[in-house]
Structure 1
Amino acid sequence: MERGYGNAERPEDYLESFRAFLLENMNKIPALVVVTQRPRELTRAQLKELRMLLDTAGYSETNLQTAWREMTNEDIAASIIGFIRQAALGDALIPYSERCDRALKTILASQPWTVPQRRWLERIGKQIKAETIVDRAALDRGEFKSQGGGFERLNKVFGGDLENIVIKLHESIWNTAI
């Protein structure tokens, strides 16, 4: 069975065309600038828009994962953000869940946390794995709202520093010195 890659016949060509697409559109798609320069500032809306644009152009996360696997014989469950940063910046392509685990470990080791703070940080880490973007709105719904009282209540648990902690967690995910 042979797999097609749009106009490309080989996975290498497909990944190179993805890289060329990114470089050609870097200044036309604001979310690409955010992903490559300030990934912690990426919003849920920007990520959704970026995924739709890339899907329309033929570069879905699934197709990129398949091409990468066929080219390298490595099965990596990297996120679309990871593929963009790898193609545009040469970042290492690391599974997203592994990036999240490392970032959480870094945050947990950064200072002594209380038991409730550690539990909430672990929940936030799981949510980032599931949703990619965890922001104030995400902390005001679901488990965070029902068990923690939402952002305002959780912010008190963290001494008013929850927003900065979440920012540091997002920064640690994309820290290239892993």
Structure 2
Amino acid sequence: MLFMQLCMGSAVGTLYGQAYGASYHEMLGIYLQRLIILLMLFGVPLTLIYIFSKHILILQGQSPSIASGAAVYGLIPQIFAYAASFPFQKFLQSQSIVGPSAYISTATLSLHLLLSWLAVYKIGLGLLGASLVLSLSWWIIVVAQFIYIVKSERCKHTWTGFTRKAFSGLPNFFILSASSAVMLCLEAWY
């Protein structure tokens, strides 16, 4: 499911590059917001699939124990964290800002390893603990990326704050993203 969000989000790379290259820096922030809105909306039907994933997997012939484990691991919050993290990452990459994302990911990985060990082995939460820590780790990355974007001098021209302009042109943005998703999925699946 995250692959679908990745494919939908990949379309914005071209728009980011065009806007940045043409010195329409404010448009990067608007595209960022549009993509987050779109991926969050796409997360809603994905949430329904996750909610019923145990039953869906059993209907497909999966054993109930495997289906139960998969349903626990596919916690919903990470769908929405990914819907924000991927656009933030692309936003920074389009401006050749890659170091902060690497540092944030490295720091989060260190924390993730510690928290996973605590949740799984010390507290005894098992698969549920691993899933909770994974979701928490994604949200830590999202918050850290957002703080960097808002506070960084390097993003002051590309992130000018939240704007209503992000809601204009959403249907066309959806068409572009959906087309990108279909193309990339067909490439990967065939």
Give the TM-score taking structure 1 as reference length: 0.34
Structure showing greater relative contact order (alpha-carbon pairs closer than 8 Å, 6 or more residues apart): 2
